Amino acid sequence: MVGSKQPAAVWLTPEEADRHCRAGASVWPFASTDKGVNPDVVICGIGAEMMFEVVAAAAALRKLAPELRVRVVNVTDLMVLGEKGSHPHALSNEDFDALFTEDKAVHFNYHGMLSHEAADIQDIAPSFKGCCSTVQILIVFRLRVIGRRVRQQHHSV
C-alpha cells in the first residue's frame, strides 16, 4: 500500500495495516494517551498526510497538556462514518461509539475538495456523492451523532 509520494514513518505492521484497512477505522493506541482508554478528546486523521499531523498533534498535546487524555483515530474508509444502513461499510452505533465516544469532542483532520453535487445536505448525508470536503464530513458525522441522541431521548420519554 502506498500512502505518500515521499518517504515517511511506518506505524503499522503489514498485518496491522491489513486489519485496520479492512475495518475502515481504528484507534491508534501507540499515538493515544493510555492506549486511547477513557479520552477527554478524540482527534481523527483521514488520509496519510493528515494522519502525520494528527500523530504530531497528539505528541505535542502530551507535552503541552499531559493531563489531557487523547484518543487518536485513523479513518481509511469514509463510508464508515455514515449512519448505519446508509452504506454497507457504515459502522454500527456501538462500533461508532467505541471509536468516537458518545459525548467527547472530536476534531477531524481531513483535506478534501468541494463537490458540486453536495450543494444540498440531502446529497451529502446518505451517499457521500463526489469528493467530500471537511465541512461535508463534519456534517455527516454531526447528523449521525445528533440523530442518535434525538432517538435516545425519544425512547427514554
pLDDT value, residue 137: 56
pLDDT value, residue 142: 58
Asked which of 34-38, 55-59, 96-100, 124-128 is least confident by mean pLDDT, the reply is: 124-128
Q: How many domains are there within the chain?
A: 1
pLDDT value, residue 23: 93
Query: CA distances (Å), 78 to each of 45, 56, 107, 119, in order?
Result: 11, 22, 15, 19
Q: Do the domain assignments include residue 2?
A: no
Per-residue pLDDT band for 72 (boundaries 50, 70, 90) equals: very high
Per-residue pLDDT band for 81 (boundaries 50, 70, 90) equals: confident
pTM value?
A: 0.73
Residue 12 is classified by DSSP as S
pLDDT value, residue 153: 60
Q: Do the domain assignments include residue 72?
A: yes
Q: Do the domain assignments include residue 43?
A: yes
Q: Do the domain assignments include residue 1?
A: no
Q: Do the domain assignments include residue 113?
A: yes
Q: Which domain holds residue 96?
A: 14-156
> Considering the chain, what percentage of its residues have pLDDT values greater than 90?
34
Q: Do the domain assignments include residue 116?
A: yes
Q: Is the four-CA dihedral 130, 132, 135, 136 of positive or negative sign?
A: positive
Q: Do the domain assignments include residue 24?
A: yes
Q: Do the domain assignments include residue 86?
A: yes
Cell of 7: 518517504
- Which amino acid type is present at position 48? A
Query: CA distances (Å), 58 to each of 62, 79, 126, in order?
Result: 6, 25, 31
pLDDT value, residue 71: 96
